[in-house]
Structure 1
């Protein structure tokens, strides 16, 4: 067996991938012929004047005569880049290009990546609002909390196209789909599950809010931030954390996890000890999603619990919670429905479509893509694989069917 590549080798491979044979991961390709003088008269002047006049008469004609209906902006200020932090808008460009590649590969959606040097949330909001007519949807990416909440809310209210913050709602959809199935495997139900969430930023708050929309009980959720349990006696909570303040005498993560059915970590590495996992209820569910290093390694968790369902954000362990299962297909459904916004029922429809797909037999082409001989719903398979061709068949129609009718 060959040795895995070293960290230095991985770094060089990643840099070479992005530099050669031409820099970056994206290019613009013409979709109409442009080989003759006649083609040019249609593509530009004078032929282009005809769709211009039609769109001036009826703005909806832009969906007929331009790429607006299949074009999404992936936009960031670079304030929360993956696990790297606030490195600025220019440094976020490789990530935004990568997101564009995933949109195209999995849902055939075209993307312009846009990196904004914004001095304030309001500056960012005004910038995005000003360029919004170009697009059929807006995907906000890698924007730090709590500004991301203000930005997403303001743009959703102002624009007549879907606005989606993947770090909030995309992550929430995949967490909820995986959690429904993990609880099913463990013989438990969401309505009675005791849940601890470590991390009160975009992903944690959105995930817990979506779980509440799906039937989780508020009194069964304990949210933990860097200062401990979010309880009713704290006076340092922003408006987004305040609804999760509970009447409880638990103050630390260790205290919160005693008797818990579910742990969801969207925080940082190595914050959960084996003793904390040991203290959880029988047949627990642990989602340790910090990347690249989870809150607790699966090996450490399994060493103290043999009745565990475990998920991480990594591809080298079973049950990867991967946003690529969500955002391309959610946007595909929203664009197909010509939705003006992405609503909680649309997100919940995506959750159920993903959860139900994982319960079905796995087709041979998926096994082949991952070098597997067998895979079935259970402790090590609670979410579909990203290369499952059924995702594009199931998730977008479910999302589109749940979209509000807006005549």
Structure 2
């Protein structure tokens, strides 16, 4: 991707459809005059008076307990330096977004135009009553140290400068595990820290608290080793000044056990790595370019344990593993501060989590066969859903035990359940699928690449490493459009009607005719059909010229589905192809079947559709719990439709007893576990969170998913075709660019799965 296009896309992302990345959303009803009277005047007076009596009531009647301020003066924005308060706002909004999606914490970003420490501190203190916690961000050292120190002393809510402590906590967890794997004693190891900013100082302090001997740490800055005989050292640098007779980074590296890089790219050479002790631990955390390239480092030494700040290599030291969950735990016990005990609790919880058996959902998300504790897995992955269930409780317990919690938790089992429920949002599913696709991108045919939105989706898929696009359509039109959108990648472009494709088209025609000659298709017709892009694309996948295809943008669904079913055919054991839609709801991912294929399926068909839906959901790393829907509940109606649905449940219970499914049941009971348990405690879905809905016919399924999509602005991924022998996926007529990209991710993951089965 060209720099100019990266710039334009970044600006467009932040500007459209409306400026910024976060917004305020009401949490109470506001539809009637009564609602408004309770929300504001006169009803609002009552909670105000209660808070006036006892300020602790502010947590009971307002959002303070789940509200964090992300505050910066823009003096040390990552990679950009001192760009000012207003210019730092996009970064602070981004931090707010991460707080919300990883730990369900609401954020107001506050940009303070003040470089003076006193002025900054006074400003933050003045607005602190609004918030349950304060995350300081991108403030330059040494002012950052003093600002955090004073605010922690003078405020009674959690305050943390994530630039200092986030990297320290994550890397300390990684270091603890790396030392265990390398069989090294933390008290004996020699550590070289390259960098002397806020993060480096905080990391070094936390490593000492973890057990590293202070005299075994050598810290370097841009001038070389920070020695005691150097003049004009800050108090922080004096803290780590050494008397050891070394002056350069190269000298310091000799015989060292650990290298911690918090500086800039490509400052460490292979020779320096070779000079380290046996089983060296190298954390090259400069971003986006590490102090030494990951591949170069592991090629230099087989015994190295390596971590970086990058997501495309093992052992990513990513602050998102820490700050959302640390604040979550602190807020949930109304801690007055984030102290050393809480930070150390997060270190140990992260380190311990990496040693536990990794859930299959995480393996699937990262396209791993079996992630397990070792050199390439010393810290958990950012998309590990267990993080919110493990880190906040550890932090909360440490807050209670160290005496800074004002509302201790007593029911820890219930607390864990509440934490798990906080991350119900289905958008995380799409992030995990995208990440999984990137681990092993496949060749995807874009059958309508001369449509601008399709071409844009192909461009994104290429640039993000999701897929290897193959573009079908008029070559001249595609090339002109590629120039217009700066899509300058070297990708394959095919025009099925072009003379240059005569040989391949003839090959496809012969294969197609051989399959269809006894079904009324002549050889001449077979040749004609191979000039049509959907037929040509399907044959490309059939003949393994491509791994998957995506089509349907410019034509109605039935006309596109026909050649897919006809040419690609059904998978072994599949009697009827079906489709499901993944709805990314606020309660989590929810699958709707069958939304596009079978108009009025029989009971036998419904049972097959349910089984295919269950298998598809497992491909996504989910544990399926399906409800077979009707307008009646467990025999309350004797209508033909209700009996059909009930019979379908009987059939699947007999043929596939392992499938978690029940019905017939109404949609509200299916989605409300309390209602289900209260009225139908005998159901197999009691105490289960239903994440798949099987509809009695296409009409009800199609109407339902489109109503949800439009009325509730829920993202829908699909329809996802189930039951084809090869990965072929059909998007909706006029789908958006994002919807097409989502379907490409599905196609790639589908191809990955089918290749595993084939192998």
What TM-score do you get using the length of structure 2 for normalisation? 0.52
Matched, 1:394 2:383: no
In structure 2, the residue matched to 1:405 is 403
CA shift, 1:118, in A, is 0.5
Aligned pairs for 1:2-401 within 5 A: 5-401=1-397
State the shift of 1:300 in Å: 2.0
Deviation of 1:370 after TM superposition, in Å, equals 2.2
1:371 is displaced (CA, Å) by: 2.8
User: Which runs of 5 or more structure 1 residues have no equivalent in the other structure?
Assistant: none
TM superposition shift of 1:241:
1.5
Task: Kindly provide the CA deviation profile for residues 201-227 of structure 1, in whole angstroms up to 9, marking residues without a partner as x.
Answer: 110000000111111101111111112
Deviation at 1:188?
1.4
Structure 1 counterpart of 2:717? none
Secondary structure, aligned partner of 2:109 = strand
Q: Distance in 2 between matches of 1:163 and 1:105?
A: 21
Equivalent residue number for residue 538 of structure 2: none
Q: Deviations over 1:354-385 (max 9, x none)?
A: 01101111111112222333311111111111
**Distance verdict in 2 for CA 1:17–1:368, change over 3 Å:** farther
CA contact (8 A) 1:350 1:395 kept: yes
Instruction: Say which structure, 1 or 2, has more relative contact order (CA 8 Å, 6+ apart).
Output: 1
How far off its partner does 1:228 sit? 1.3
8 Å Cα contact 2:219/2:225 also seen in 1: yes
Distance in 1 (CA, whole Å) between partners of 2:257 and 2:226 is 18
2:236 is paired with a residue of what secondary structure? Answer: coil
Alignment partners' CA distance in 1, 2:345 and 2:142: 27
Q: Distance in 2 between matches of 1:10 and 1:354?
A: 34
Residue 6 of structure 1, CA deviation: 4.1
Runs of at least 4 residues of structure 1 off by over 6 A?
none
Paired with 1:352 and 1:14, the residues of 2 have a C-alpha distance of 37
Q: Deviations over 1:44-95 (max 9, x none)?
A: 0011011111111111000000000100000011111111111111111111
Equivalenced residue count is 403
Whether the 8 Å CA contact 1:180–1:189 is kept in 2: the answer is no
Larger Rg: 2
CA distance in 2, matches of 1:66, 1:331: 18
CA contact (8 A) 2:73 2:115 kept: no
**In the TM superposition, what is the alpha-carbon distance from 1:42 to its structure 2 partner?**
0.5
CA distance in 2, matches of 1:153, 1:281: 37
Provide the rounded CA distance (Å) in 1 between the counterparts of 2:394 and 2:369.
Answer: 30
Contact 2:68/2:132 (<8 A) preserved:
yes
Question: Normalized against structure 1, the TM-score is what?
Answer: 0.97
**Secondary structure at 2:91 match in 1:** helix
Unaligned runs of 5+ in 2: 407-759
Q: Is the 8 A contact 1:358 1:381 kept in 2?
A: yes
Q: Is the 8 A contact 2:170 2:318 kept in 1?
A: yes
Deviation of the 1:161 alpha carbon: 0.4
Hey, what's the Cα distance between the residues in 2 that align with 1:119 and 1:260?
Answer: 38
1:73·1:114 contact (CA, 8 Å) conserved in 2? yes
Aligned equivalents of 2:124 and 2:264: distance in 1? 30
Helix, strand or coil at the partner of 2:329: helix
Matched residue of 2:187: which SS? Answer: helix
Shift of 1:281: 0.4
In 1, Cα distance between equivalents of 2:13 and 2:302: 40
Per-residue deviation, residues 312-369 of structure 1 (Å, max 9, x unmatched): 1111111110000000000001101111011111000000000110111111111222
Q: For 2:12 and 2:79, how far apart are their aligned partners in 1?
A: 21
